[in-house]
Structure 1
């Protein structure tokens, strides 16, 4: 038998493999693949990759993460004695002043609205909360019962 070059061997192998009949996939493969796609699409956003999160949640995650990192960095720097507490307070003064302004504006809005809204007894407020809580509990109970009766797989 003559010795073949790698290119000739590749051509012969390609010719033999192309003459092979195509293999059929299992009958259940399509159903399994479509089921997995549907399962992944039904996942809530917080179980998916970060790229699938809604934009406001991604921004909030970044803001909270950066704030936590900054707090940890500032805390460790202060513990090491490199920066004084006064310098850190001065650094955050604009944010704390803005927060104080927002609180003052909110309190002014509450006093403005409170003058136009009639006073309710706290008794009625607690009764309304109890009714809402009972309705919520009933909704959960009915939902669980309906699930068990109509959608739960029989044993």
Structure 2
């Protein structure tokens, strides 16, 4: 067969193949959307002070503080919460990008753009390095963020 655009049978076959690809992409996109909406991520800091759970949008849906909080300075607790929330968002970005790759793939520019957009929206920006002075020997280990503990 000539596969010329003027060949009606060939044109119908190409249209049918195109429609099949579009139908598959639509179904894959619906699957992706449903799976993304179901994602929840829970992260805990290494010291066991904080556990956060976020939904698919990165919104905090649960926060658990252990009794260690009572022996920890409030600024360390708040900083640990924020750091753990950032880690959860990074994990959510990774999981979301994995779902996108599994459902719609990464071959098309549109799929790559979606994955990049999700990553940019969810990932926390790298924490700025601060000059944390070494605590005195009598400083309580509990009163430092897990990132400061050596």
Question: TM-score category by the smaller chain?
Answer: under 0.3
Which gives a bigger RCO, structure 1 or 2 (Cα 8 Å, sep 6+)? 2
Higher helix share: 1
Structure 2 length as normaliser, TM-score?
Answer: 0.25
The structure having more radius of gyration, on CA atoms, is: 1
Higher strand share: 2
Structure 1 length as normaliser, TM-score?
Answer: 0.24
